Amino acid sequence: MVVGIIGLGLIGGSMAIDLKKDSRESEILGYDRSELHLQTAVKLGIIDRAVDLEGIMEADVIVLAVPVGAAVDLLPWLLDRIDKQIVTDVGSTKASLCAQVENHPKRPQYVSAHPMAGTEFSGPWAARPGLFEGCAVIICDKEKSSMDALNAVTSLFHSLHMRPVYMNSVEHDMHAAYVSHISHISSFALALTVLEKEEDTRSIFNLASGGFSSTVRLAKSSKDMWTPIFADNAENILPVLDTYVEKMQAFRAAIAEGDIEKINGLIIEANRIKKILLK
Amino acid sequence: MVVGIIGLGLIGGSMAIDLKKDSRESEILGYDRSELHLQTAVKLGIIDRAVDLEGIMEADVIVLAVPVGAAVDLLPWLLDRIDKQIVTDVGSTKASLCAQVENHPKRPQYVSAHPMAGTEFSGPWAARPGLFEGCAVIICDKEKSSMDALNAVTSLFHSLHMRPVYMNSVEHDMHAAYVSHISHISSFALALTVLEKEEDTRSIFNLASGGFSSTVRLAKSSKDMWTPIFADNAENILPVLDTYVEKMQAFRAAIAEGDIEKINGLIIEANRIKKILLK
C-alpha cells in the first residue's frame, strides 16, 4: 500500500517514520507546502519520496496532516480529485470539517480521525518514532465512511499501535474542548502571567521546578496549529473557559477568606482526576 | 555527621534515601507523627533509625520536612531545645516562618531553605532516589544564619547535587507565587472544570493525550501540603490569580470575537517562555 502524507510536521512526520517501518506500507510519499519542510523530510529520511499535490494522487491512502484551517479547503479539493483513493485526516477539531464534506459524492472514501498524541514542538524536526504508541485515535462519524475506507484507515492506525475509539464529530469537539483545548489555553495564560510579572527571568529559571515546567509545557505550542483550533471550536471552548474561570474564582475566594475547609474541599474534589488518569 | 529528619514524606524521605548513600552522613534518624509513615520508612530502609521528637536531638543537623502550617509551630519548639545542633527546613513558603523566629536567640543555627523539587505524590511511598539531582535549593535570608550553619546545610544540599541560590524570604514568597503556587491552582481548576462537565469519564480517558496529562498532573497533589501554602502565601497569590484570570479573559475575548490576529499575538507572547525553560 502506498501512503501519501500532506503536511510533514510533528504529526505527519511522526506517522511517516513509523509507517515506513511497517512492511504493509510499500512507499511513503510526502508533500508540504513549505519547501524547507519538504526537503528536510527527505533529508531526514522521514518520507521515501517528495511529490507535489498532484503526485500525492499516486497513493492508495492519503493522510491530510495540516492545521485545521487549511484542511477545510484541502479536503474538498482532494475529494473532488480522487478516484478510488481513501482519504483521512488528523485534525484536532472534526465537526466543521465533517459538515463541509457531508454531501460530497466521495464522502464514503473519507475517514475523519483525530490521533490523541502530540508534543509542544512542531515541524519535521519534531517528528519522532513511537509518538502514537498506545494512544487512542478518535474516528468520527464512522457511519458516513465505507467499510473499505474504515478498514484501510483503522489498519493504518493499528500499525502505529493506536486503539480506535468511535465518536460523533459534534461530541468529539465538545469533549476535546474540555480535555485538550482548555489545557492549552490554561498553559498559555500561565506563561503570560509569569512573563508579565516576572521580569527577573533568572528567578523564573531558578524557581521553576518540575511542576511549573510540566504545567507550562504546552505554552510552547505553535500558533499555526492552535489559533485555527480555537477559532474553529469557539462555540465549545467559550463555556469551558467560563467554567474554568469560575473554578479559579472559587479558589480565589477561599484563599482570600483564609477558608481552610473550602480550600481542602476544592483540592479533594480536584484529586478525583487521579482515578481517571492513572499515569 | 548524624542527620535527623522530621517528616518522612516525599521530600524528607527522598532526602533520607540520598543522604544514606553519602559517606559524610554517618546515620539518618527519622521521625514522623504518623506511626504508619514512620514504620514504613523503617521497613523501606529509608532511614537508619526511628526516633521520637526528643530523640531527634541526637542529630547534628535537623531537617524539618513537614507542611508549612506545622513548621510554624515546630521550628520555635526545636530552636527552644537545641544546643549546638543546626536546623534547616524545606517548606514552600519562607517569609512567615523566618519572621516567626527572627528574634530567637538560636536564629543563627537555623538555615531557611526551599529545595525546588517534588512530584504530585506524597508519603514515604513516594520517596525516591535522585529527586533533587540538578535542582536549585533556595536559601533565604542567609545573613541571619551563622557561617557554620550555612556551611553545614549547603554541604548537605550539595551532597543531594543541588545548587544553592540565595534570596530574601519575602522575595522568595512573591516569586514562588508566580512560578510554583499558581501552577498548582491552575491545574486544580483544570481538573475541577473537566470533572464537573465531563460526567462521561470514559471520554476523558480516551481523549486525554500527553498534553492534558501533564497540565493536570499537579491536580493530584495533596491538600495537606498545598492548603497551608495557599493560606500562608495568600497575599502574594491573590494578585497573581487576578493576573491569570485577566489572561484567560483576554483569550476568551479574542476567541469570542474570532480575532485571529489577537489569538496569534497572545500565543506568540506566551511562546517566549521557551527561552527561559529549555527543557
A239 contacts: CB under 8 Å, gap ≥ 6: none
User: B147 with B85: CB under 8 angstroms?
Assistant: no
Q: Kindly identify which residue of chain B lies nearest to residue A271, measuring between CA atoms.
A: B220
pLDDT at residue A279 in the model:
45
Cα–Cα–Cα angle for B265, B266, B271, nearest 5°? 100
Is 50 exceeded by the pLDDT of residue B171?
A: yes
The alpha-carbon gap from A76 to the nearest alpha carbon of chain B, in Å, equals 23
For chain B, give the percent of residues with pLDDT over 70. 96
B265 burial class (0-12, 13-18, 19+ CB within 10 angstroms)?
middle
Domain boundaries, chain A: 2-168, 172-276
Sheet holding A49-50, edge to edge: A49-50, A27-31, A2-6, A61-64, A86-89, A110-115, A136-140, A163-167
Whether A172-276 and A2-168 are alike in CATH topology: the answer is no
pLDDT at residue A208 in the model:
74
What is the C-alpha to C-alpha distance for residues A65 and A11, in angstroms, rounded to an integer?
A: 7
Q: Tell me, what DSSP letter sits at residue A93?
A: -
Closest CA to B76 of B50, B52, B58, B103: B103
Give yes or no for A199 touching B (CB within 8 A).
no
C-alpha cell at A37: 519542510
Give yes or no for A263 touching B (CB within 8 A).
yes
Is 90 exceeded by the pLDDT of residue A228?
A: yes
B243 burial class (0-12, 13-18, 19+ CB within 10 angstroms)?
middle
> Could you report the per-residue pLDDT of A229-274, keeping only the tens digit for each?
999 999 999 999 999 999 999 999 999 999 999 999 999 999 998 8
Is 60 exceeded by the pLDDT of residue B278?
A: no
Taking CB atoms and an 8 Å limit, are A248 and B251 in contact across chains? no
CA trace torsion A204, A207, A213, A214 (10° rounding): -140
pLDDT at residue B48 in the model:
95
Give yes or no for A43 touching B (CB within 8 A).
no
pTM: 0.87
Q: Do the strands B110-115 and B86-89 form a parallel or antiparallel pair, or are they unpaired?
A: parallel
Q: Hey, which CATH number is domain B2-167, 3.40.50.720, 3.30.930.10, 2.40.37.10, 1.20.1250.20? A: 3.40.50.720
What one-letter code names the amino acid at A194? V
Give yes or no for A210 touching B (CB within 8 A).
yes
Size of chain A, expressed as the number of residues it contains: 279
The residues pairing with B136 across neighbouring beta strands, listed in sequence order, are: B163
Q: Kindly identify which residue of chain A lies nearest to residue B192, measuring between CA atoms.
A: A270
- The CATH fold of domain A2-168: Rossmann fold (3.40.50)
> Could you report the per-residue pLDDT of A138-167, keeping only the tens digit for each?
999 999 999 999 999 999 999 999 999 999
Residue in A219, A252, A263 closest to B270 by CB: A219
pLDDT at residue B204 in the model:
72
Taking CB atoms and an 8 Å limit, are B187 and A226 in contact across chains? no
Average pLDDT along chain A: 92
pLDDT at residue B200 in the model:
65
E strands of chain B, at which residues? 2-6, 27-31, 49-50, 61-64, 86-89, 110-115, 136-140, 163-167
pLDDT at residue B279 in the model:
45
Q: Determine phi and psi for A64, rounding to 5 degrees.
A: -95, 110
A172-276 maps to which CATH number?
1.10.3660.10
Query: How many contacts does A have with B, using Cβ atoms within 8 A?
Result: 316
Give yes or no for B189 touching A (CB within 8 A).
yes
Q: Kindly identify which residue of chain B lies nearest to residue A206, measuring between CA atoms.
A: B136
What is the C-alpha to C-alpha distance for residues A164 and B53, in angstroms, rounded to an integer?
A: 56
